[in-house]
Amino acid sequence: MARRPAVLITGANGEVGHGLIEALAARGDCDVVAVDLHPLAKSLRPLVVNWQAGDILDEQLMQRLVTEYEVTTLFHLAALLSTRAEYSPDIAHEVNVTGTLHLLKLAHQQSSWSGRRTKFIFPSSIAAYGIQSLEEKAALPPLKEWEQLAPTTMYGCNKVYCEHLGRYYAQHYQQLAARPSGVGVDFRSVRFPGLISAETIPSGGTSDFGPEMLHAAAKGEPYACFVRPDTTIPFMTMSDAVRALLMLHRAPEERLKQRVYNITSFSISADEFRLEVLKAFPGAEICFDPHAQRQAIVDTWPRTVDDEPARRDWGWQPEHPVEVAFAEYLVPRIAARYG
Ligand code: SER
């Protein structure tokens, strides 16, 4: 009895999951199986062939799924984000690291059955970086993938380690055993900047001040930004983030010179973010009330990253530079959303 080929998405209910499921459904060339701790959003249910509310650490749940589906690609999006992970570091480690390890094993198992490499697409983050001081942050050129990797958060540590685990599974797993060629895990990862969605509001992240500011203004609510006005990190629209995942997914493996790629769209300060929001919602009430510890986390993240390897190897280019992002994508959609 043949199993049905499918793309498995974990963390399917999250912000990236929403965008990804919609984009895959629009393409219509694969069946999607969705897993999330919480029941899948009703709007997404018609777009998938199966969804399960459950824990990625539940081996029985995951093994039951693969009795029915041959997982050809895994988009592993489930994670506790950086702020939430600081409140529950042990749980964060369990979900972010042990969960990823289990899924890498599952991907390897799938590949052994099918005789083809199983693609494993993993979102990493600028949180992988850890810059030691504001002076250094101001002076650094756009960071390359291998620079400044001493994160100060549990989430950042988890991401860096899982990047290594993925590379290990793709290139060195069972290196002392005789292995059939062409089998194994084809691990690919992008380091996302702060993501801004028009459809969903983030929760549990430390780059959330940007999207929170925008959604509050659109709802007509006041907003107190939890970082200083000068705080600068890279950002990207959710639509560009999903495009990046799909572009990386589609790239021929032989073109990929590395397994982890920086990507970025635009870097702006929290105050510049406020000014963009005010252009669209002139009456917005936005003030700054920095939270010392969350500020300290964002201060270790780079102002900008070097995404040249992604451009070179798989043609990465954002569709939404800053003006387009706000004027043509975010603002019209958010305004429509809140009426
Ligand atoms: N946006 C994430 C966070 O703030 C970082 O990847 O945790």
CA of 293 to the centre of ligand 1 (A): 15
29 part of a folded domain: no
CA of 69 to the centre of ligand 1 (A): 31
Determine the pLDDT at residue 204.
Answer: 92
268 part of a folded domain: yes
Determine the pLDDT at residue 110.
Answer: 97
The domain total for the chain is 1
Domain containing residue 281: CATH number = 3.40.50.720
The protein residue with its alpha carbon nearest to ligand 1, atom 2, reads: 205
pLDDT one-digit tens code per residue, 190-206: 999 999 999 999 889 99
Banded pLDDT at 226 (limits 50, 70, 90): very high
pLDDT one-digit tens code per residue, 41-87: 999 999 999 999 999 999 999 999 999 999 999 999 999 999 999 99
146 part of a folded domain: yes
Determine the pLDDT at residue 293.
Answer: 97
42 part of a folded domain: no
**With a 6 A CB cut-off, is 197 part of the ligand 1 pocket?**
no
CA of 318 to the centre of ligand 1 (A): 19
Has residue 181 got a pLDDT over 80?
no
Max CA-CA distance within the chain?
A: 66
Q: What is the mean pLDDT of residues 207-218?
A: 97
As a whole number, the mean pLDDT across the chain is 97
Extended beta strands in 174-314, E state: 185-192, 194-196, 223-225, 232-237, 260-262, 266-269, 286-288
Q: Spot the catalytic one: 69, 129, 155, 169.
A: 155
CA of 68 to the centre of ligand 1 (A): 34
- Residues 194 and 15: beta-carbon distance below 8 Å: no
**With a 6 A CB cut-off, is 207 part of the ligand 1 pocket?**
yes
pLDDT one-digit tens code per residue, 311-335: 999 999 999 999 999 999 999 999 9
Tell me which residue range forms the domain holding 237.
Answer: 79-337
Interatomic CA distance for residues 215 and 277, integer angstroms = 9
49 part of a folded domain: no
The protein residue with its alpha carbon nearest to ligand 1, atom 6, reads: 125
Determine the pLDDT at residue 1.
Answer: 73
CA distance readout (Å), 10 to 56, 62, 148, 249: 7, 10, 29, 16
Residue 338 appears among annotated catalytic residues: no
Contacts for 214 with CB less than 8 Å, ≥ 6 apart: 196, 273, 277, 330, 334
Determine the pLDDT at residue 261.
Answer: 98
Has residue 180 got a pLDDT over 90?
no
Determine the pLDDT at residue 182.
Answer: 79
8 part of a folded domain: no
Has residue 179 got a pLDDT over 90?
no
**With a 6 A CB cut-off, is 206 part of the ligand 1 pocket?**
yes
pLDDT one-digit tens code per residue, 125-166: 999 999 999 999 999 999 999 999 999 999 999 999 999 999
Report the atom number in ligand 1 closest to the C-alpha of 81: 7
pLDDT one-digit tens code per residue, 239-294: 999 999 999 999 999 999 999 999 999 999 999 999 999 999 999 999 999 999 99
Report the atom number in ligand 1 closest to the C-alpha of 194: 1
CA of 155 to the centre of ligand 1 (A): 8
105 part of a folded domain: yes
Has residue 2 got a pLDDT over 80?
yes
**With a 6 A CB cut-off, is 81 part of the ligand 1 pocket?**
yes
63 part of a folded domain: no
Has residue 19 got a pLDDT over 80?
yes
